[in-house]
Structure 1
Amino acid sequence: MPQRPARDGLPVDGVRRAPATMPRGFYAVDPDPTGTPFVPSQDQDSFIPAYPGGPSMDNEGIEMVSGGPRNTLLLHPEDMPDLSWLSTGEVNCCGAPGDMGPNRGCRCGAPIGTEMSECYTPYELHLVPGAVAER
Structure 2
Amino acid sequence: MRKTLHCTACGAALSVPLNILSGKDPAVPSLEMLDAKPITPAGTGFKSYEPIERSFSATSALLEFVPQYWVNPDDLTDAVRITKNMRRLNGCCGLDGCDGPNQLCSCGAEIGTLRTDCWTPRVFIPVPTLTEWREEELR
Asked if 1:21 corresponds to 2:39, the answer is: yes
Question: Contact 1:21 / 1:122 at 8 angstroms: preserved in 2?
Answer: yes
What is the identity, as a one-letter code, of the residue corresponding to 1:3? L
Asked if 1:66 corresponds to 2:46, the answer is: no
Equivalent pairs, count: 102
Q: Please give the TM-score of this superposition, normalised by the length of structure 1.
A: 0.64
What is the identity, as a one-letter code, of the residue corresponding to 2:108? G
Instruction: Determine which structure has the larger strand proportion and give its number.
Output: 2
Compared CA separation, residues 78 and 6, structure 1 to 2 (3 A) = closer
What is the identity, as a one-letter code, of the residue corresponding to 1:80? L
What is the identity, as a one-letter code, of the residue corresponding to 1:27? G
CA RMSD of aligned residues (A): 2.5
1: distance between equivalents of 2:123 and 2:31?
12
Match of 1:79 among 75, 80, 100: 75
1:123 deviates by: 0.8
Q: Identity percentage over the alignment?
A: 27
1:126 deviates by: 0.5
Question: Contact 1:73 / 1:128 at 8 angstroms: preserved in 2?
Answer: no
2: distance between equivalents of 1:71 and 1:41?
21
Say which SS state the counterpart of residue 87 (structure 1) adopts: coil
CA-to-aligned-CA distance 1:62-120 (integer Å, 9 cap, x gap):
xx873632112110011113201012322433110000011111111101110110001
Asked if 1:4 corresponds to 2:25, the answer is: no
1:34 deviates by: 4.6
Q: Please give the TM-score of this superposition, normalised by the length of structure 2.
A: 0.62
In the alignment, which residue of structure 1 is the partner of 2:51?
Answer: 33
Structure 2 segments unaligned to the other structure (5+ residues): 1-22, 24-29, 135-139
Structure 1 segments unaligned to the other structure (5+ residues): 8-17, 43-63
